[in-house]
Amino acid sequence: TSPFAWLRSRFYYLLIRLYFDQEFSIEEFKRGAKQAFSVVSKLLSQRKLDLLEELVSAEVLQVLKEKISLLPDSHRDALAADIEAIMYTTEGDVRIYYDDDGRKFVSILMCFWYLNGANLPDEVPGEAKVFQIVFGDENTKEKKHLLMANYEFQREFTEGAKPDWTITRIEHPRLLE
């Protein structure tokens, strides 16, 4: 992350605490986002899309229903991320905005890097190389792929709105396209 983007994000976190939620903590948010990512990615992998209705926006859920049905099993298996297999998490873009009706929103894009043992080919669509990591010795070799996903979390801060974060974007590059 560039120093400008880091500083900009910290400024937005301050605004969130000052004007929207005095209890907001980016560290606590990241822990919750990591847990949500793990749960949602496993449900996607298992095609249990009906269980995502409270976690994912209706628009995203509709797109996922179309895409998941077309995925090969190996790509679907690669969507699942165990919480212990998440190697790196970072926040991306942070936005504060108002809609035409005066409702207040905050959205935070989270990027996750995770290990997955799905049986993916060395080259995936789009001619991009997937990183592979081999654990163990010659007899107990275990190959894992280092994969990346972006999930955007949005919360409405208008008075009377539910205090829940909703996932409004799900990207698993080269897997869920």
pLDDT digits (tens, 9 = 90+) for 41-99: 999 999 999 999 999 999 999 999 999 989 998 899 999 999 999 999 999 899 999 99
What is the pLDDT at residue 81? 95
Provide the 10 A C-beta neighbour count for residue 152.
Answer: 21
H/E stretch holding 156 reads strand 142-156
Of the candidates 110, 108, 101, the one whose C-alpha atom is nearest the C-alpha of residue 15 is: 108
| Phi, psi angles (nearest 5°) of residue 114 | -140, 155
H/E stretch holding 129 reads strand 128-129
Average pLDDT over residues 136-165: 86
Provide the 10 A C-beta neighbour count for residue 11.
Answer: 11
**154 pairs with which residues across the strands?**
107, 166
Q: Dihedral sign for Cα 171, 166, 39, 88, please.
A: positive
Instruction: List the chain domain ranges.
Output: 3-171
Instruction: Tokens 């926040």: give the residue.
Output: 91
How far separated are the first and last CA of the chain, in Å rounded? 25
Band of residue 125 on the pLDDT scale cut at 50, 70, 90: very low
Band of residue 120 on the pLDDT scale cut at 50, 70, 90: confident
What is the pLDDT at residue 129? 45
Q: Which of the two residues, 143 and 131, has the higher pLDDT score?
A: 143
| pLDDT of 109 above 50 | yes
| pLDDT of 126 above 60 | no
Residue 96 contacts residue 15 (beta carbons within 8 Å):
yes
Q: Whats the size of the chain, residue-wise?
A: 177
What is the pLDDT at residue 29? 97
Average pLDDT over residues 27-54: 96
Return the SS3 of 174: coil
Report the mean per-residue pLDDT for the chain.
88
Band of residue 139 on the pLDDT scale cut at 50, 70, 90: low
